[in-house]
Chains A and B, each alone.
Chain A
Amino acid sequence: MFLRQPAKLLRLHFSEGDQYNGVPLYEALVKKCQALGIAGITVLRGMEGYGESTEIHRARILAHDQPILVTVVESAENIERLMPEIEKMVDTGMIAISNVEMIRIEGRNTRPEVSG
């Protein structure tokens, strides 16, 4: 039985073209999370989608404008600490938070030691 802890799942939806201080917003978010000591973050790129502007985001020949989904799983305190920072950075898009249970598997070496 693996230890289950209550946690929060934060999901951010925005466009690949969104920028923050001249860098892609998702890269800025990853750097911010690292700076704040957040356990992890995953950036996923969607195929197609639309949002507030009702304009369809999809891959065009040169422009990268696909939907981006950023997920962070962390304890409630850490998500609370992260939220004000994120609100400053994300101006268009959607933020969703849900309650989850997490099982953290860290630095466990299941492989037997190779002898000799």
Chain B
Amino acid sequence: MLSRGAAKKVTIYVNEDTRHHMDALWDAILRFLRHKHVAGATVLRPVAGFGVHELIHSPDQEIRSEHMPMRIEFIDTAEKVDELLPSLYDMVVDGLIEVQDTNVVKAVEKGRKPAPHSPHAEISGAAKLIRIYLGEADKLNDEPLFEAIVKRLMMMEVAGATVYRGILGYGAKRHTHREGRFHLSRDRPIMISVVDQPSRVDEIVDAIAPMMQDGLIVLSDVEVHRFVHALPEQPALLEQKDTNVSSSAG
């Protein structure tokens, strides 16, 4: 499976009726990519298009619509793409191959135990505790600010964050945040605590501070004694299925 970060996206445009030996070219390319264990590939059939012959290929123009354009896309690491390109270059006799730099933001597979992440698989020793103070009513693009901050931290794969709701307080805005009668108030103080490696603090502060209109971020040195980023034991059934999948793929 792909990991987050820089990757290459390859797009191949061919005609539906172009052959490669006995098969359709698009089908041959797809099977070739699977054979090479590319992370994933998609074949799309566009509505219409034209190529170098300047003939518009669309269902209206062609009664049997067998000369339709086909588009094959896949994303993989730069090394993998480098390895595959000569073969693809050889296969595509009529069409176009395009490679572009891309950035994988999220690559997940349902039901699969994620591989331990490198940034925070297990840390113990010196760490930083970041406390972020804000108000419950603070918003960022009409979304509660504390939710926006937690989502952003999750996307950054920060080890963990906890949101605390206070009952009383004041701060930069100089008005008292207090819990109303029957706990109905929606403007209580919020404190978010985040613990991660010291090396990630700058990155976290630079991401969170611009999201805040006012408030306070407090950094302190802490010591983490045990911190394992792992999912709970999976049931045996899932485990077995998992190995089956990987063995059939291998």
Contacts and interface: CB of A to CB of B under 8 A. Distances in A.
Interface string A20-60: 00000011001001100001111111000000000000000
B217 A105 contact: yes
A80 interface: no
A95 B34 CA distance: 63
B210 interface: yes
Interface residues of A, number: 32
A73 B170 contact: no
A1 interface: yes
Contacts of B167: 26, 43-45
A44 B172 contact: no
Interface in B203-218: 205-206, 209-218
A4 interface: yes
Nearest to A24: B168
B218 A7 contact: yes
Contacts of B215: 105
B13 to A, nearest CB: 40
Given A2-B206, A30-B170, A107-B172, A44 B218 contact: no
B144 interface: no
Nearest to A98: B220
Contacts of A99: 220
B171 to A, nearest CB: 3
Interface of B: 131, 133, 164-172, 176, 189, 191, 202, 205-206, 209-220
Interface of A: 1-2, 4, 7, 9, 26-27, 30, 33-34, 39-45, 71, 73, 98-110
